[in-house]
Amino acid sequence: ASVESLVLRAVTDEQLKVSGGGGSESLFRVEWSPLPVRDDADAVAVELLEVGSASLGSEEVRRVCGDVLAGLQEFLASSREGSLVVATRGAVDVAGGEGAADPVVAAVWGLVRSAQVENPGRVVLMDTDADTDVDADGVVRGGGLLAGVVASGESQVAVRSGEVFVPRLVRASAVPSEGPVFRTGGTVLVTGGTGTLGGEVARHLVGAHGVRNLVLTSRRGLDAPGAVSLKAELEQAGAVVVVAACDVADRESLAGVLDMVPAGAPLSGVVHTAGVLDDGVIGSLTPERLASVFRPKVDAVLMLHELTRHLDLDAFVLFSSASGVLGGPGQGNYSAANAFLDAFAQWRRAQGLTAVSLAWGLWRESSTMTGTLGATDQARMSRGGIRALSVEEGMALFDAGLGAVPSHLVPAKFDLAALGEQVAADEVPSMLRGLVRRPRRTAAVATGSVLGASLTSRLTTLTVDEQRRHLVELVSGEVAVVLGHAGAGSVGAGQAF
């Protein structure tokens, strides 16, 4: 064999750093798998909360999610037995055909997923198609299908032509893009560009992708912490950088920023990283708290779409969160907003436009979105099987996402050993069950009986006061492990959760 020609190209340190990142090991997608259900399951007590269709718009997202929130709060605050079935239509894309998901109703799934995490076993999500009807008593046409779903223990299902499917995270294959993703001479807009993640994306675009024109927006522009030094750093690397204060959800404000894009370097890409938090459990959320979190996510992406849809963009990247897929306790509003972004990327693809939504897991780098997480929160997430991504890992996953076929991906780092322990205790979230195998249960049962007998024997040798102290120490130790505290001494006996 012989080589007729050889072309050498210079590469930057940044390109070398991410080229072998193995990002696909931490890149996932949602796959829907058939679920056999019993058609002879015993009748179950259910209440039905039906979610109607809605037109695509920010006010409709607020209205629909607000109605569902009110229904959830009323049911969860009651002492009624049975399950609440939230029935939607077209909220999820089971077949992977890109575009079947309704972004407005998909936001409901994000909201309800958080309610499920906070209230295990009380709420079921069921999405149907035009061939499936649910009557006022919660009976699915075709017999005892709903009873079989509830008996299965699955909390999220989709019914298509009478067949039941459940969602599972599976690894996604990422094919490296052939050639540069971003054309030479174009401008890339990064919203939230002066924040921690937005700044890292800007550095990566310049260092690894050769982008030479950037527009970075944030609510405070150059007055944002670190904005001046970031601009100087990027300019030192050879980029032309505009930093602008902008409310991306406001038409006039965003249009003014887009007017700053030089005619000689037309807009070629959008990376939307902006977002805010207003955490609270489902019972404490209000329509106003929904709206405040929806604005930089839902409203902003709709405005970005409206003002750029006529352009031939190389990329339209949405920074979402895994909370929209897994459900975030205390983050119902945030989960809903991110579930909207995930479905909106599918919707844009169906319109023939480029889009990908990256539902990020936990980042190691502290930001305004993660700065409130203390050591206890980090320990709890680690025990739950979530590990933090480094900047290098995150940027490798960013690139992998750009080259992947699905419009919705979950870049996240999971601790499979920790998840395996949850499987043994039947605690692993259903969405993650496809990532780990269920072990044999014989040893676990035997171990549990031995521990039970051991505790009983120990208590019989103690006085009543000593028994109480021993049990308090035991329970406090277990609570400390579950909540991520350093030890039993960190949990007072009279302390509320």
The torsion defined by the Cα of 285, 287, 292 and 295, in degrees rounded to 10, comes to 130
- What pLDDT sits at residue 331? 97
- What pLDDT sits at residue 484? 43
How much is the CA Rg of the chain, to the nearest whole Å?
25
Pairing of strands 213-218, 156-160: unpaired
Q: Are 326 and 362 within 8 A, CB to CB?
A: no
> How far apart are the C-alpha atoms of 356 and 340, rounded to whole Å?
13
Burial of 409 (0-12, 13-18, 19+ CB in 10 A): buried
Which pair of tokens denotes residue 63? 């209205």
- What pLDDT sits at residue 365? 84
Chain centroid to Cα 8, Å, comes to 41
> How far apart are the C-alpha atoms of 169 and 182, rounded to whole Å?
29
Burial of 450 (0-12, 13-18, 19+ CB in 10 A): exposed
Tell me the mean pLDDT per 10 residues along the chain, length 497.
50 47 78 87 81 92 98 96 93 79 97 97 92 57 66 91 93 76 95 98 97 98 98 98 98 98 97 97 98 98 98 98 96 98 96 96 75 53 80 96 92 89 73 78 44 66 74 65 46 65
Look at phi and psi of residue 210 and say left if phi exceeds 0, alpha if psi is from -120 to 50, else beta.
left
The one-letter amino acid at 464: V
Pairing of strands 163-171, 413-414: unpaired
Q: Are 160 and 89 within 8 A, CB to CB?
A: no
Q: Are 241 and 234 within 8 A, CB to CB?
A: yes
Report how far apart the first and last C-alpha atoms of the chain are (Å, whole number): 70
> How far apart are the C-alpha atoms of 313 and 22, rounded to whole Å?
27
Please give the model's pTM, rounded to 2 decimal places.
0.83
State whether residue 237 is helix, strand or coil. Answer: coil
The one-letter amino acid at 444: A
